[in-house]
Amino acid sequence: MLDGTMLLDRRAFIGTVVAAAAPLLLGPLGGCRREGALDTALPESDMDRSDGEPAACALIYDPLFLEHLTPPGHPERAARLTAILDRLEADGLLHRLLRLRARSCEDEDLLRCHLPGYLEQLEREVARGRRRLSTGDVSLSERTSEVARRAAGGAMAAVDAVCRGSARRAFAALRPPGHHATPQTGMGFCIFNNAAIAARYAQAVHDVERVLIADWDVHHGNGTQDIFEADPTVFYFSTHQSPWYPGTGAAHEVGVGPGEGTVLNRPFPAGSGREQVLGAFEDDLVAAMQRFEPQLVILSAGFDSRRGDPLGHFTLDDEDFADLTALMRNLADEHAGGRLISVLEGGYDLEGLASATAAHVGALL
Interface pick for Zn ion out of 219, 266, 306, 313 (rule CB under 5 A): 219
Query: Of the listed 180, 219, 220, 240, which one is catalytic?
Result: 180
Contact mark string toward Zn ion, 293..322, x via CB under 5 A: ---------x-x------------------
User: Which segment (23-31, 42-50, 94-102, 212-220) binds Zn ion by CB under 5 A?
Assistant: 212-220
- C-alpha span between 96 and 162 (Å, rounded): 16
Q: How many residues interact with Zn ion (rule CB under 5 A)?
A: 5
Among residues 166 and 248, whose Cβ is nearest to Zn ion?
Answer: 248
Which residues are CB-neighbours of 185 under 8 A, at least 6 positions away? 118, 135, 136, 223
**Spatial CA neighbour of 103 closest among 172, 146, 156, 25:** 156
Q: Does the protein bind Zn ion through residue 255 (CB under 5 A)?
A: no
Least distance to Zn ion, CB of residue 36, Å: 28
Annotated catalytic residue 74: no
Site residues for Zn ion, 75-94, by CB under 5 A, read none
Q: Does the protein bind Zn ion through residue 217 (CB under 5 A)?
A: yes
- The C-alpha torsion from 296 through 302 and 303 to 305, rounded to 10°, is -110
Among residues 150 and 219, whose Cβ is nearest to Zn ion?
Answer: 219
User: Which segment (105-113, 132-140, 267-275, 345-353) binds Zn ion by CB under 5 A?
Assistant: 345-353
- Is the distance from CB of 299 to CB of 328 less than 8 angstroms? yes
Q: Does the protein bind Zn ion through residue 223 (CB under 5 A)?
A: no
Q: Which residues bind Zn ion (CB under 5 A)?
A: 217, 219, 302, 304, 346
Q: Which residues are catalytic?
A: 180
